[in-house]
């Protein structure tokens, strides 16, 4: 165990695929989490653009929401992008309010309902539209072998995430995300209101369904692609925050002080564009 612990410390110190934040904080967190062991640990993962690749063949950002709109008629697509143009800049600047977030998500869901979106159409091209980032399968496999549970919390769509995971042969312990409802013909007919996860309630804290996991396993490793996801896990020494450096094309936080800003909220930046550096850490638990 101590050999593994030293290997992780060395790996992080050597910046092996990572850029490192505050060395003292990082060292304290590594000590705390690694010495408590894998029995006290769980992973919290964002989905869109963390487990999936950031951009499609046209260079456009890929999300579960975008993938569904591909199957709408043109007028409905235009309405989808009108809402995106209205609310996304607020989200990217971290200025979105709860009423904005709910209006956006509900507006998009209403478009799907009014246009009788068909789930079989979505399911058919899900993997082509959202290919996995390199290292996803390896990350789930290593955690499964070590019995470290993985929780996905996403402001995307639960149905798509679950099917995507099934297609890839990976098994998250829990998926917290908006659950869409389809009738017996596979036509969109609504959503489970209580399941709505948006930018502002996208966090582990306060989610009753996760309290058993986080109660038994208080330490967590968060992996995300967005600076706004830092609050998905607690703030203490038991939470190591890792961000994949693959900013969205409209991310306003990208500038000269980008890394300084990131390191105020995250401990490690994956600079290789894949999840293999995270896999290397998990292998040592």
Q: Which residues bind Mg ion (CB under 5 A)?
A: 46, 48-49, 225-226
**8 A C-beta contact, residue 229 and residue 263:** no
By beta-carbon proximity to Mg ion, the closer residue of 133 and 284 is: 133
In sequence order, the 6+-apart residues with CB closer than 8 A to the CB of 239 are 29, 219, 220, 221, 222, 233
Q: Shortest gap between Cβ of 156 and Mg ion (angstroms)?
A: 8
Q: Shortest gap between Cβ of 47 and Mg ion (angstroms)?
A: 7
Nearest-angstrom CA–CA distance, 198 and 209: 17
Q: DSSP of 182-205, one letter per residue?
A: E-TTSBEEEE-GGG---TTT-SST
By beta-carbon proximity to Mg ion, the closer residue of 202 and 280 is: 202
By beta-carbon proximity to Mg ion, the closer residue of 84 and 188 is: 84
Q: What are the contacts of 8-11 at 24+ separation with CB within 8 A? A: 8/34, 8/281, 8/284, 11/280, 11/281, 11/284
Q: DSSP of 67-123, one letter per residue?
A: HHHTTS-HHHHHHHHHHHHHHHHHHHTT---HHHHHHHHHHHHHHHHHTT-BHHHHH
Q: Shortest gap between Cβ of 225 and Mg ion (angstroms)?
A: 4
Q: Shortest gap between Cβ of 199 and Mg ion (angstroms)?
A: 10
By beta-carbon proximity to Mg ion, the closer residue of 12 and 170 is: 170
Residue 68, judged by CB atoms within 10 A of its CB (0-12, 13-18, 19+), counts as buried
By beta-carbon proximity to Mg ion, the closer residue of 179 and 226 is: 226
Q: Shortest gap between Cβ of 140 and Mg ion (angstroms)?
A: 17
Q: Shortest gap between Cβ of 26 and Mg ion (angstroms)?
A: 23
**8 A C-beta contact, residue 172 and residue 165:** yes
By beta-carbon proximity to Mg ion, the closer residue of 155 and 170 is: 155
């Amino acid at each position: 165990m101590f050999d593994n612990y030293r290997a992780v410390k060395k790996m992080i110190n050597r910046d092996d695929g990572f850029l490192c934040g505050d060395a003292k904080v990082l060292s304290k967190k590594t000590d705390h989490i690694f010495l408590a062991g894998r029995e006290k640990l769980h992973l919290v993962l964002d989905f869109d653009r963390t487990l999936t690749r950031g951009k499609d063949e046209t260079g456009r950002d890929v999300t579960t929401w975008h993938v569904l709109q591909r199957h709408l008629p043109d007028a409905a697509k235009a309405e989808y992008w009108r809402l995106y143009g209205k609310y996304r800049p607020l989200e990217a600047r971290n200025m979105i309010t709860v009423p904005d977030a709910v209006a956006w998500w509900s507006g998009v869901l209403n478009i799907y309902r009014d246009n009788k979106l068909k789930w079989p159409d979505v399911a058919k091209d899900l993997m082509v539209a959202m290919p996995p980032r390199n290292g996803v399968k390896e990350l789930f496999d290593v955690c499964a072998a070590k019995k470290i549970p993985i929780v996905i919390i996403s402001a995307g769509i639960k149905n798509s995430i679950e099917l995507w995971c099934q297609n890839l042969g990976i098994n998250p312990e829990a998926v917290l995300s908006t659950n869409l409802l389809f009738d017996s013909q596979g036509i969109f007919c609504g959503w489970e209101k209580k399941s709505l996860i948006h930018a502002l309630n996208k966090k582990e804290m306060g989610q009753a369904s996760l309290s058993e996991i986080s109660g038994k396993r208080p330490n967590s490793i968060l992996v995300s692609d967005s600076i706004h996801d830092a609050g998905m896990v607690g703030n203490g020494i038991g939470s190591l925050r890792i961000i994949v450096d693959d900013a969205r094309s409209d991310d306003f936080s990208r500038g000269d002080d980008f890394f300084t800003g990131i390191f105020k909220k995250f401990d490690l930046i994956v600079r290789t564009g894949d999840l293999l550096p995270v896999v290397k850490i998990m292998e040592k638990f």
